Structure 1
Amino acid sequence: MTTSQRKIEHLQLCATSPVESRRMGAGFDDIMLVHRALPEMSMDEIDLSVEFLGSKLNAPFMIASITGGHPGTIPINAALASAAEELGIGIGVGSQRAAIEDPSQEESFRVVRDKAPNTFVYGNIGAAQIRQYGIEGVERLIEMIDADAMAIHLNFLQEAIQPEGDRDASGALDSIREICNLKTPIIVKETGAGISLEDARLLKDAGVAAIDVGGVGGTSWAGVEVYRAREREDIMSELLGDLFWDFGIPTVPSIVECSSLLPVIATGGVRSGLDIAKCIALGSSVSSAALPFVEPAMKGEKQVEESISRLLDELKVAMFLCGCNDIKKLRSAPTVITGWTKEYIELRGFDAKEFALRSDKSDFQIV
């Protein structure tokens, strides 16, 4: 199966099958923003704008990498990009590997920049591919969409389950370090299994500009592979995908693990403006989501805009009820962490009380 065929198959499965985390959520239920009964501000004065990697966004939100690499994805990426341009938020493209293998697929990625000339757009390629294509290959991908940043995705869980997967992860960090010599900021993103403090330290030392935690709680690519395996009657791959469906670090604790080291994009199970507010309060710079916009994008730009506008309205309400009139204040809002998430982060050496008792502090300390 070609990469292009696999991309459209992945998109169709995400649109029609239950592919989200089953047993473990992102951790948002364990997070409570402390309510301010006297917010002493006007909700109409709330400023959602942020600076991220040198670009200004109208809100701390991006459309996460979804698709590209097949002619059928062109109208979808066009709708997504048009909505991002209209709302002044960022957007990432799906893996550009298909365009390297088949230049005729480049239009499915170029359409994003065509429809979003003023938007923060980031490119996307797998860690396994940068070892193969090197700096020159990545530069070509950046030029393809005039990217403001380049994301290197880590999807070794999915690779381990795919029959056609690349199971050789050796040398990935060295390849990332080499790519970080480019002038374009490099984002390293997980695709559903989260990033730990240990790996965040390695990535910071390698020169990475930001981390997209891509935690457990959203789309499970192991789950997607279950459906693919079932269709081709591959019992072993189906069993592997089912076993590792929820493997990894949920989004919320992964934010805590990484945000003291690098700017964080919080992806994985973000489904409301309240989720976005919690991510920011926990330390992320911006949030992003992909799956909620697949179906709207198949209908058109207006439906995508409506979906995202709802999230941003919800974010404003959350900020109003926390007495935060801008994102900087939200980052230091008192936040109570409970349950499994509290147990996890404290076992990992973080102090949950630092979040609950802060007022003007914007950072937390490791115990």
Structure 2
Amino acid sequence: MSDIERRKREHIHVVLSGAAKHSLPAGFDALRFRHNALPEVDYEAIDLSTRFMGKPLRLPYLASSMTGGPDAAARINRAIAEAAQQLGFAMGVGSQRISLTTPERFGLNLELRRIAPDALILGNLGAVQLTHGMGLEEARRAVDELGADGLILHLNPLQEALQPEGDRNWHGVEAAISRLTRVLPVPVIAKEVGSGISAEVARRLADCGVAAIDVAGSGGTSWAAVEGKRAAGEAGEALGEIFRDWGIPTATCLAEVRAALPDMPLIASGGLRHGLDGAKAVRLGANLLGQAAALLPAAINGPEAVIAHVEAFATALRIACLATGSRNLTELGRAAVC
């Protein structure tokens, strides 16, 4: 087993254990919808469809980036792909670095496109890798090996700083993103991994040419805590605990970035627990709603479990539409709040 494989396996184990959550919430509880007791809306006719990156989706849901390496990856990705095709939501794979640097593919290949020919599928690379030996060629391969509709570049400076084998030199990453967006034939999405993207950074990313931003704020999985749990020795674990709750809450990120960039497509991820949180994220400006750790147990259990999980999320989102008198996501985005 390579070091990357071992690290990815450890990541999944720690996340599934529940030992690496932020202890502070994502901020959605502070927002309350104003209840509409006379909605004049047919529940069955509520339209949750949307378009993202030019592709139609029946649900505004993203099975967010989870894993790209261990032996469970192929099974997880197949389960999500089957469910995405059936329900009409988007999926993003975990980091493809391992599949680009080893002979193994771990399910990160065109099989996902064959399973989900109509789904929005997003590839994934670490942005810092663009200054550590990866460039346009690897980005093209990441897209081509999946038949992906776009490429996520994840931003994780805190995680890398706490990871013993992490890449800590982030000088030049912004320029590298800018170069890539100019030449890659598919849209590029910038994504944090749980510490959030501020309005200031979002503007810089927009100037770099990214097509969408996943704010991925705090309130869900803490990758500082994950790396602390992985660390050898008490000092490393203590450092992870110091930074466990570092970050900008997801709700705050959404409000800030939407105000700064009114037309930028936004993904809300980081601590979304259910469809009501999703509804609040839409009200704050999100176009797509992402879950990773919350979906992981279902993904390990197979496509039926993923379908059940996403349908439950969609049911709560639909009820929020009814109770605010919203016939669709556009109206939900303007729903009255207390």
TM-score by length of 1: 0.88
| Aligned counterpart, 1:25 | 25
CA RMSD of aligned residues (A): 1.3
| Aligned counterpart, 2:291 | 289
Deviation at 1:108, TM superposition (A): 3.8
In 2, the alpha carbon distance for the partners of 1:318 and 1:203 equals: 32
1:309 and 2:276 correspond: no
Instruction: Kindly provide the amino acid, as one letter, of the partner of residue 176 in structure 1.
Output: I
CA contact (8 A) 2:151 2:189 kept: yes
Instruction: Kindly provide the amino acid, as one letter, of the partner of residue 247 in structure 1.
Output: W
TM-score by length of 2: 0.95
| Aligned counterpart, 2:281 | 279
In 1, the alpha carbon distance for the partners of 2:114 and 2:271 equals: 29
Deviation at 1:16, TM superposition (A): 2.2
1:98 and 2:86 correspond: no
CA contact (8 A) 2:77 2:107 kept: no
| Aligned counterpart, 1:214 | 216
In 2, the alpha carbon distance for the partners of 1:72 and 1:29 equals: 34
Instruction: Kindly provide the amino acid, as one letter, of the partner of residue 203 in structure 2.
Output: R
User: Greater relative contact order: 1 or 2 (C-alpha under 8 angstroms, separation 6 or more)?
Assistant: 2
1:235 and 2:237 correspond: no
Q: Secondary structure at the match of 2:148?
A: coil
CA contact (8 A) 2:110 2:145 kept: yes
In 1, the alpha carbon distance for the partners of 2:36 and 2:157 equals: 43
CA deviation map 1:83-126 (0-9, x unaligned): 11111000000000111110322534544323212100000000
Q: Secondary structure at the match of 1:104?
A: coil
1:324 and 2:323 correspond: no
| Aligned counterpart, 1:165 | 166
CA contact (8 A) 1:74 1:109 kept: no
Instruction: Kindly provide the amino acid, as one letter, of the partner of residue 251 in structure 2.
Output: V
Gaps of 5+ in 1: 337-367
| Aligned counterpart, 1:204 | 206
Report the count of equivalent residues.
332
CA contact (8 A) 2:21 2:221 kept: yes
Alpha-carbon spacing, 1:117–1:219, altered in 2? closer, same or farther (3 Å): same
CA contact (8 A) 2:78 2:107 kept: no
In 1, the alpha carbon distance for the partners of 2:82 and 2:140 equals: 25
In 2, the alpha carbon distance for the partners of 1:292 and 1:263 equals: 23
Instruction: Kindly provide the amino acid, as one letter, of the partner of residue 258 in structure 1.
Output: V
Instruction: Kindly provide the amino acid, as one letter, of the partner of residue 274 in structure 1.
Output: L
Q: Secondary structure at the match of 1:71?
A: coil
CA contact (8 A) 2:214 2:267 kept: yes
In 1, the alpha carbon distance for the partners of 2:18 and 2:187 equals: 35
Instruction: Kindly provide the amino acid, as one letter, of the partner of residue 163 in structure 1.
Output: P
Matches within 5 A, 1:48-67: 48-67=48-67
In 2, the alpha carbon distance for the partners of 1:177 and 1:102 equals: 27
Percent of pairs identical after alignment? 40
| Aligned counterpart, 1:342 | none
In 2, the alpha carbon distance for the partners of 1:88 and 1:124 equals: 20
Alpha-carbon spacing, 1:109–1:6, altered in 2? closer, same or farther (3 Å): farther
| Aligned counterpart, 2:140 | 139
In 1, the alpha carbon distance for the partners of 2:333 and 2:148 equals: 28
